[in-house]
Protein backbone atom coordinates (compact mmCIF):
# COMPACT_ATOMS: atom_id res chain seq x y z
CA UNK A 1 0.00 0.00 0.00
CA UNK A 2 1.35 3.44 -0.95
CA UNK A 3 1.10 6.54 1.11
CA UNK A 4 0.30 10.04 -0.23
CA UNK A 5 2.43 11.57 2.39
CA UNK A 6 5.80 12.74 1.00
CA UNK A 7 9.02 12.83 2.91
CA UNK A 8 9.57 15.99 4.93
CA UNK A 9 11.69 18.66 3.18
CA UNK A 10 14.09 20.92 5.00
CA UNK A 11 13.35 24.64 5.08
CA UNK A 12 16.07 26.75 3.50
CA UNK A 13 16.77 30.10 5.13
CA UNK A 14 17.22 32.58 2.30
CA UNK A 15 17.93 35.59 4.42
CA UNK A 16 20.98 37.51 3.38
CA UNK A 17 23.86 37.24 5.79
CA UNK A 18 24.81 40.37 7.65
CA UNK A 19 28.00 42.03 6.47
CA UNK A 20 30.84 41.77 8.90
CA UNK A 21 31.49 44.95 10.83
CA UNK A 22 34.57 46.84 9.68
CA UNK A 23 37.23 46.70 12.38
CA UNK A 24 38.14 50.05 13.88
CA UNK A 25 41.59 51.35 13.00
CA UNK A 26 44.16 51.49 15.83
CA UNK A 27 44.53 54.79 17.66
CA UNK A 28 48.03 55.37 16.31
CA UNK A 29 46.79 55.04 12.74
CA UNK A 30 44.00 57.55 13.35
CA UNK A 31 46.47 59.92 15.02
CA UNK A 32 48.86 59.60 12.06
CA UNK A 33 46.04 60.39 9.65
CA UNK A 34 45.11 63.53 11.63
CA UNK A 35 48.74 64.71 11.63
CA UNK A 36 49.13 64.13 7.88
CA UNK A 37 45.91 65.97 7.04
CA UNK A 38 47.01 68.83 9.30
CA UNK A 39 50.26 69.10 7.32
CA UNK A 40 48.33 69.13 4.04
CA UNK A 41 45.89 71.80 5.26
CA UNK A 42 48.59 74.04 6.73
CA UNK A 43 50.74 73.86 3.60
CA UNK A 44 47.86 74.57 1.23
CA UNK A 45 46.63 77.51 3.33
CA UNK A 46 50.12 79.01 3.60
CA UNK A 47 50.74 78.67 -0.13
CA UNK A 48 47.32 80.10 -0.94
CA UNK A 49 47.93 83.08 1.35
CA UNK A 50 51.32 83.78 -0.26
CA UNK A 51 49.58 83.98 -3.65
CA UNK A 52 46.42 85.75 -2.52
CA UNK A 53 48.05 88.66 -0.66
CA UNK A 54 49.92 90.18 -3.65
CA UNK A 55 47.01 89.41 -6.00
CA UNK A 56 44.57 91.18 -3.68
CA UNK A 57 46.67 94.35 -3.72
CA UNK A 58 47.09 94.12 -7.49
CA UNK A 59 43.31 93.88 -7.86
CA UNK A 60 43.09 97.21 -6.00
CA UNK A 61 45.55 98.79 -8.44
CA UNK A 62 48.30 98.70 -5.83
CA UNK A 63 51.76 97.19 -5.54
CA UNK A 64 53.87 95.76 -2.72
CA UNK A 65 57.54 96.65 -2.34
CA UNK A 66 59.99 95.28 0.24
CA UNK A 67 62.22 97.96 1.81
CA UNK A 68 65.94 97.09 1.80
CA UNK A 69 67.52 100.17 3.42
CA UNK A 70 66.99 102.55 6.31
CA UNK A 71 67.18 105.84 4.37
CA UNK A 72 63.55 106.64 5.27
CA UNK A 73 63.78 105.82 8.99
CA UNK A 74 61.82 106.19 11.17
CA UNK A 75 58.93 106.25 8.65
CA UNK A 76 59.90 102.74 7.56
CA UNK A 77 63.04 100.65 7.74
CA UNK A 78 64.60 97.63 6.06
CA UNK A 79 62.28 94.65 6.31
CA UNK A 80 59.07 96.67 6.10
CA UNK A 81 56.68 96.47 3.13
CA UNK A 82 55.27 99.58 1.48
CA UNK A 83 52.04 99.70 -0.53
CA UNK A 84 52.15 101.86 -3.65
CA UNK A 85 49.55 103.18 -6.04
CA UNK A 86 50.37 104.06 -9.62
CA UNK A 87 50.65 107.67 -10.78
CA UNK A 88 48.47 108.50 -13.77
CA UNK A 89 49.33 112.20 -14.08
CA UNK A 90 52.30 114.35 -13.12
CA UNK A 91 49.98 116.81 -11.39
CA UNK A 92 49.41 114.22 -8.65
CA UNK A 93 52.99 114.67 -7.42
CA UNK A 94 53.43 117.24 -4.67
CA UNK A 95 56.23 118.11 -2.26
CA UNK A 96 56.28 115.95 0.90
CA UNK A 97 54.81 112.92 -0.88
CA UNK A 98 56.79 109.69 -0.55
CA UNK A 99 57.31 108.09 -3.96
CA UNK A 100 59.10 105.10 -5.44
CA UNK A 101 61.13 105.81 -8.56
CA UNK A 102 63.89 104.42 -10.75
CA UNK A 103 66.88 106.78 -10.78
CA UNK A 104 68.38 107.63 -14.14
CA UNK A 105 71.07 105.12 -15.09
CA UNK A 106 70.08 102.58 -12.42
CA UNK A 107 68.00 99.41 -12.47
CA UNK A 108 66.92 99.38 -8.82
CA UNK A 109 64.10 101.30 -7.16
CA UNK A 110 64.36 104.02 -4.51
CA UNK A 111 61.62 105.20 -2.16
CA UNK A 112 62.21 108.77 -0.94
CA UNK A 113 60.25 111.93 -0.16
CA UNK A 114 59.71 114.68 -2.75
CA UNK A 115 61.33 117.92 -1.59
CA UNK A 116 60.72 120.04 -4.71
CA UNK A 117 59.38 120.04 -8.28
CA UNK A 118 61.23 121.43 -11.29
CA UNK A 119 61.02 121.79 -15.06
CA UNK A 120 64.40 120.88 -16.50
CA UNK A 121 65.72 120.02 -19.95
CA UNK A 122 64.94 116.47 -21.01
CA UNK A 123 68.12 114.40 -21.33
CA UNK A 124 69.05 111.42 -23.46
CA UNK A 125 72.10 109.21 -23.64
CA UNK A 126 74.62 109.90 -26.37
CA UNK A 127 74.80 106.92 -28.71
CA UNK A 128 78.58 106.55 -28.62
CA UNK A 129 78.65 104.07 -25.74
CA UNK A 130 80.27 106.56 -23.37
CA UNK A 131 77.20 106.93 -21.17
CA UNK A 132 77.20 110.72 -21.54
CA UNK A 133 73.87 112.54 -21.55
CA UNK A 134 72.81 115.39 -23.81
CA UNK A 135 69.69 117.61 -23.80
CA UNK A 136 66.80 116.82 -26.12
CA UNK A 137 66.17 119.71 -28.56
CA UNK A 138 62.81 120.70 -30.00
CA UNK A 139 62.00 121.77 -33.55
CA UNK A 140 63.00 125.33 -32.64
CA UNK A 141 66.41 124.20 -31.46
CA UNK A 142 65.61 124.92 -27.83
CA UNK A 143 65.90 122.30 -25.06
CA UNK A 144 62.65 120.43 -24.38
CA UNK A 145 61.58 120.96 -20.76
CA UNK A 146 59.95 118.21 -18.72
CA UNK A 147 58.89 117.87 -15.07
CA UNK A 148 61.45 116.56 -12.60
CA UNK A 149 61.35 115.82 -8.89
CA UNK A 150 64.07 116.31 -6.28
CA UNK A 151 63.96 113.73 -3.53
CA UNK A 152 65.56 113.02 -0.18
CA UNK A 153 65.46 110.21 2.35
CA UNK A 154 64.16 111.21 5.77
CA UNK A 155 67.28 109.77 7.38
CA UNK A 156 69.64 111.48 4.90
CA UNK A 157 71.23 114.88 5.55
CA UNK A 158 71.05 116.10 1.94
CA UNK A 159 68.86 115.62 -1.14
CA UNK A 160 69.63 112.96 -3.71
CA UNK A 161 72.38 113.92 -6.15
CA UNK A 162 70.27 113.81 -9.32
CA UNK A 163 66.77 114.98 -10.15
CA UNK A 164 64.41 112.29 -11.48
CA UNK A 165 62.05 112.65 -14.44
CA UNK A 166 58.43 112.30 -13.42
CA UNK A 167 57.98 109.52 -15.98
CA UNK A 168 60.31 107.32 -13.90
CA UNK A 169 58.08 107.47 -10.83
CA UNK A 170 56.64 104.01 -10.14
CA UNK A 171 54.11 104.87 -7.45
CA UNK A 172 53.06 106.94 -4.44
CA UNK A 173 53.22 105.56 -0.91
CA UNK A 174 49.83 104.58 0.55
CA UNK A 175 50.68 102.63 3.69
CA UNK A 176 53.41 100.72 5.46
CA UNK A 177 53.27 97.18 6.88
CA UNK A 178 56.04 96.84 9.43
CA UNK A 179 57.88 93.52 9.52
CA UNK A 180 56.18 91.98 6.49
CA UNK A 181 59.37 91.92 4.44
CA UNK A 182 61.08 88.74 5.71
CA UNK A 183 57.83 86.76 5.59
CA UNK A 184 56.89 87.94 2.09
CA UNK A 185 60.43 87.47 0.80
CA UNK A 186 60.61 83.93 2.19
CA UNK A 187 57.13 82.97 0.97
CA UNK A 188 57.90 84.04 -2.60
CA UNK A 189 61.37 82.42 -2.69
CA UNK A 190 62.04 78.95 -4.17
CA UNK A 191 62.95 77.67 -0.71
CA UNK A 192 59.73 79.00 0.80
CA UNK A 193 57.64 77.48 -2.01
CA UNK A 194 59.36 74.13 -1.46
CA UNK A 195 58.73 74.21 2.30
CA UNK A 196 55.05 74.99 1.75
CA UNK A 197 54.45 72.43 -1.03
CA UNK A 198 56.77 69.45 -0.54
CA UNK A 199 55.55 68.34 2.94
CA UNK A 200 51.85 68.39 1.88
CA UNK A 201 52.70 66.38 -1.25
CA UNK A 202 54.59 63.82 0.84
CA UNK A 203 51.70 63.68 3.32
CA UNK A 204 49.18 63.12 0.51
CA UNK A 205 51.34 60.36 -0.97
CA UNK A 206 51.59 58.71 2.44
CA UNK A 207 47.82 58.88 2.94
CA UNK A 208 47.28 57.32 -0.50
CA UNK A 209 49.72 54.48 0.24
CA UNK A 210 48.06 53.79 3.60
CA UNK A 211 44.63 53.78 1.94
CA UNK A 212 45.77 51.28 -0.71
CA UNK A 213 47.33 48.97 1.89
CA UNK A 214 44.20 49.07 4.05
CA UNK A 215 42.06 48.27 1.01
CA UNK A 216 44.17 45.23 0.26
CA UNK A 217 43.93 44.02 3.85
CA UNK A 218 40.14 44.35 3.81
CA UNK A 219 39.98 42.44 0.52
CA UNK A 220 42.09 39.63 1.97
CA UNK A 221 39.91 39.41 5.07
CA UNK A 222 36.78 39.28 2.88
CA UNK A 223 38.15 36.30 0.93
CA UNK A 224 38.71 34.19 4.06
CA UNK A 225 35.89 31.64 4.79
CA UNK A 226 33.58 32.91 7.47
CA UNK A 227 32.00 30.53 10.00
CA UNK A 228 28.25 30.71 9.72
CA UNK A 229 27.12 30.33 13.28
CA UNK A 230 23.45 30.65 12.51
CA UNK A 231 21.26 27.68 13.30
CA UNK A 232 18.76 26.97 10.59
CA UNK A 233 15.44 25.74 11.85
CA UNK A 234 14.26 22.51 10.28
CA UNK A 235 10.55 22.48 9.80
CA UNK A 236 9.09 19.07 9.45
CA UNK A 237 5.70 18.54 8.03
Q: Do residues 90 and 174 make contact, with C-beta atoms less than 8 angstroms apart?
A: no
Please report whether residue 225 resides in a domain: no
Give the separation between CA 20 and CA 90, rounded to whole angstroms: 79
Same structural domain for residues 114 and 156? yes
Among 151, 163, 170, 171, smallest CA distance to 121 is for: 163
Q: Do residues 72 and 98 make contact, with C-beta atoms less than 8 angstroms apart?
A: yes
Q: What percent of the chain has pLDDT over 90?
A: 46
Number of domains in the chain: 2
Q: Is the pTM of this model over 0.85?
A: no
> In Å, how far are 71, 73, 153, 177 from 67, measured between CA atoms?
10, 11, 13, 10
User: Residue 121 maps to which CATH number?
Assistant: 2.10.109
Please report whether residue 122 resides in a domain: yes
Q: Do residues 163 and 32 make contact, with C-beta atoms less than 8 angstroms apart?
A: no
Give 29's contacts (C-beta < 8 A, 6+ positions apart): 210
Same structural domain for residues 76 and 125? yes
Confidence label for 136 from pLDDT (cuts 50, 70 and 90): confident
For 58-101, what is each residue's pLDDT tens digit?
A: 898 899 999 999 999 999 999 999 999 999 888 899 999 999 99
Domain, as residue range, for 154? 69-174
Same structural domain for residues 82 and 169? yes
What average pLDDT does the chain have?
83
Please report whether residue 89 resides in a domain: yes
Give the separation between CA 100 and CA 86, rounded to whole angstroms: 10
Specify burial of residue 92 (Cβ count, 10 A radius: 0-12, 13-18, 19+): middle
Amino acid sequence: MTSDRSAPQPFVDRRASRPAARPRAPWWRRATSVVLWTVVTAGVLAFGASLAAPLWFQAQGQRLLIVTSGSMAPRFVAGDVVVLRAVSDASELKPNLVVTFQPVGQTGLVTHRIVSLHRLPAMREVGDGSGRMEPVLGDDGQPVLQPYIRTQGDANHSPDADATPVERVQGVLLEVHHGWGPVLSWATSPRGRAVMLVPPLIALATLEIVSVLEGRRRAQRAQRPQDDRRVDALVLE
